[in-house]
Chain A
Amino acid sequence: MDRQSLLPLLDARLPLTEEGVAEAARLAGVPLAQAWGVVRHYPRYRGLPQGRLLVDDPVARARGFARLLREADGTYPPMGLEALSPLFVRIEGKERYVEEGGRLVPFRDFRLPFALGQGERLLPPEPILNLRAYERVGGLQALRGLLGDAFSPHDLIQAVEEAGLLGRGGAAFPTHVKMRAVAQAPSPKYLVVNADESEPGNFKDRFLLEHHPFLVLEGALLAAHAVGAEKVFLYVRDEFAAAIQGLEQAIGELKEAGLLTKPTEVFHSGGLYICGEETALLESMEGKRAEPRLKPPFPVEKGLWGRPTLVQNVETLANLPLILKEGPAAWRLKEPKLFSISGDVARPGLYELPLGTPLGEALERAGGSPKELKAVLLGGAAGVFTRDFAVPLRYRERLPIGAGAIVAFGKEVDLWEVLLGLAHFFQEESCGKCFPCPLGTAIQVEMVKRRERSRALVHDLAQALKGSLCGLGQSAYWAYQSLLEVEDAA
């Protein structure tokens, strides 16, 4: 990065004073106005709420939210913790803890339980946290192959194309198209790993970062070489403190072994849902408010600091070593995808399943019984409620799978209560840059509160939100519209 970014400068001065903000602005070479706009945008600079906070996620909403809230001083947004049951976090000054079984676990020590579902899979069956263990399972062979001229950057992109890998962050854009565009663009250029997973019900990237940091890093280095990026940035959700620590340790081990073939650094994300939107992510890395840019131009053309940038999701990159190891044709036959399955199933956790697996079968793998479920939220907050258990979990199918979140709800759950949580989430997370999204998400909360079922009104809400600048607003009504369909079908 050619310039000093404002966010790390502010981070170094927490808790912020006016002098601290002014100093950070000076060092970043930006007007105080810009720094102040940033401070008034991100929660951790505005000042975190204090006390015992209920994580407001779909599972908490399905488990008597009002009662749970009485035990709390407020709410906290979801961040990949919602695997098992309602959860509280505690914030004391700068320190953040997760409440787990009556214990307070600091964020830096908290990892998701290793609960990879059984079955055929490509991911190593246990956590791989050091270089030697990673090499024992065949790790780094792909990277060594690329560096040792066993195959070229062109071959690597070709393999990704033959494998048919689609981006695993939710948008399902063909990975090779982005890679090729950046590979052909002029230098300098960058690779940014989008590890800001914030989709409620989704914890696959968090899992990969916490348990397979070397796999993620090898994938990132492969991609960086393939496109000729000078530098790799991992933009990681700030709350994933254990993951950040693990990644930094893994980067250190690779460096020591002389295998860190590109400068690689971890960037602490802004800590908001919108930070996962690729252009908002880039704005935030440039020290601005995390707000989406107008596209075009796309990041492959004008990304970080205006340079061509490949922005890829964690799971997408983790697949690159696997594609090379298996061979693109064999990988394509398996088409592995990680699904975060939670809610009313006996064995919530992370499941690697082939794309095309029917929803009902995925639920049964996790010990859920479709017959006993009222509905499933497929794809997270930007997803849909459904009872279509036969739908194949595949991109561009009749229902969106997004990043692969599946939250199951039993017969006794009030889905309108769950929907209200999602509506609140969108209202809170809307950045406010364009007009339809902040207005529409606020209206939506009121409509859901009064359980508005007018088809005409919901249709018009949808029509207007579709005109939003980015995917956040454009998908904010999906769950609402789909709940009405589920009710109609019942």
Chain B
Amino acid sequence: MRLNVNGQEVEAKEGALLLELVDVPTLCHHPHTETHGLCRLCLVEVEGRLVPACATQATEGMVVRTDTETLRSFRKTLLEWLALSTDLSLAPGLEELLLAYGADPGRWGEMPLTRKGRAPIRDNPFFLRDYAKCVNCRRCVDACGDGIMGVYALTLEGRGLLAHPTTPLDRPLPETPCVFCGNCVQVCPTGALRPLSLEV
């Protein structure tokens, strides 16, 4: 099967995801979880429509654009907003992207509704839940539930910008079905979940 990416012919296997064929950033997608299409950083243009590369299969003759002015502006703005609202200090990949896209978070002014002020939760001996650094990509929730473990010790609290992962009944992790398998820590892209052994 052949498709056209930014003017170049590309050979692909039947059923391949666009994300496997093009070079675009992503934050929510993880091959071992079912999260996709949330962060929107991997949006590409197909026939004038914006579609998430992580949730779109390549088809014969498809014409894909990944680096238009619209898309660059979109990604730059989104990264700026993330930097304004969230502590990205343990997300080196994102910091690099901010540089690459020439991001300037300050141009938006203040952002009073912010995730940055949240205090870390130390409720178990193994890892920290530091939601000031959480972008709400849901990889951890999915890894714990449908995606990998089927344990369901994590869910989501609230709506809008302040939505974030929590435990059933907001209980400390040891009082939930959590088996401390570490999958949630493994899939976290921002250091919001991190082993306590790394803390000094």
Binding site for B on A (CB under 8 A): 18, 21, 31-37, 40-41, 272, 289, 294, 427-436, 438-443, 445-447, 450, 452, 457, 460-461, 463-464, 466-469
Q: Are B107 and A443 in contact (CB under 8 A)?
A: no
Q: Least Cβ distance of A76 to chain B in Å? A: 16
User: Which B residues, 21 to 76, have Cβ-Cβ distances below 8 Å to chain A?
Assistant: 27-28, 36-41, 43, 50, 52, 55, 70, 73-74, 76
Q: Least Cβ distance of A242 to chain B in Å? A: 27
Q: A31-B145, A439-B81, A446-B109 are in contact. Are A463 and B163 (CB under 8 A)?
A: no
Q: Are A34 and B159 in contact (CB under 8 A)?
A: no
Q: A463-B73, A467-B74, A469-B40 are in contact. Are A435 and B135 (CB under 8 A)?
A: yes
- Taking each of A464, A466, A468, which has the highest tally of chain B beta carbons within 10 Å of its own beta carbon? A464
- List the one stretch of B5-13, B119-127, B150-158, B181-189 in contact with chain A: B150-158
Q: A439-B82, A450-B109, A467-B50 are in contact. Are A31 and B152 (CB under 8 A)?
A: yes
What 8 A-B pairs come out closest when comparing CB atoms?
A432-B163, A31-B152, A37-B155, A464-B77, A439-B81, A33-B155, A33-B152, A438-B161
Q: Verify if B78 is at the interface (C-beta below 8 Å from A).
A: yes
Can you identify 21 A-B contacts, CB atoms within 8 angstroms? Answer: A21-B169, A33-B145, A34-B152, A36-B168, A36-B170, A41-B156, A294-B37, A427-B113, A427-B161, A429-B159, A429-B160, A431-B159, A432-B158, A435-B27, A436-B74, A438-B163, A442-B160, A446-B108, A452-B109, A460-B77, A464-B77
Contacts of B152 in A (CB 8 A): 31-34
- Report Cα–Cα, A445/B169, bound state, in Å: 31
Closest to B41 in A: A435
Chain B contact residue count (CB 8 A cutoff): 50
Q: Are A32 and B160 in contact (CB under 8 A)?
A: no
Binding site for A on B (CB under 8 A): 27-28, 36-41, 43, 50, 52, 55, 70, 73-74, 76-78, 81-82, 84-85, 107-113, 135-136, 145, 152-163, 166-170, 177
Q: Are A434 and B38 in contact (CB under 8 A)?
A: yes
Q: Are B112 and A446 in contact (CB under 8 A)?
A: yes
- Report Cα–Cα, A427/B158, bound state, in Å: 13
Q: A21-B169, A41-B159, A427-B160 are in contact. Are A466 and B50 (CB under 8 A)?
A: yes
- Report Cα–Cα, A81/B170, bound state, in Å: 35
Q: Least Cβ distance of B65 to chain A in Å? A: 14
Number of A-B contacts (CB under 8 A): 139
Q: Are B77 and A463 in contact (CB under 8 A)?
A: yes
Closest to A293 in B: B37
Q: Are B166 and A40 in contact (CB under 8 A)?
A: yes
Q: Are B168 and A33 in contact (CB under 8 A)?
A: yes
Q: Least Cβ distance of B117 to chain A in Å? A: 14
Contacts of A441 in B (CB 8 A): 160-161
Q: Are A436 and B40 in contact (CB under 8 A)?
A: yes
Closest to A474 in B: B50
Q: Are B77 and A461 in contact (CB under 8 A)?
A: yes
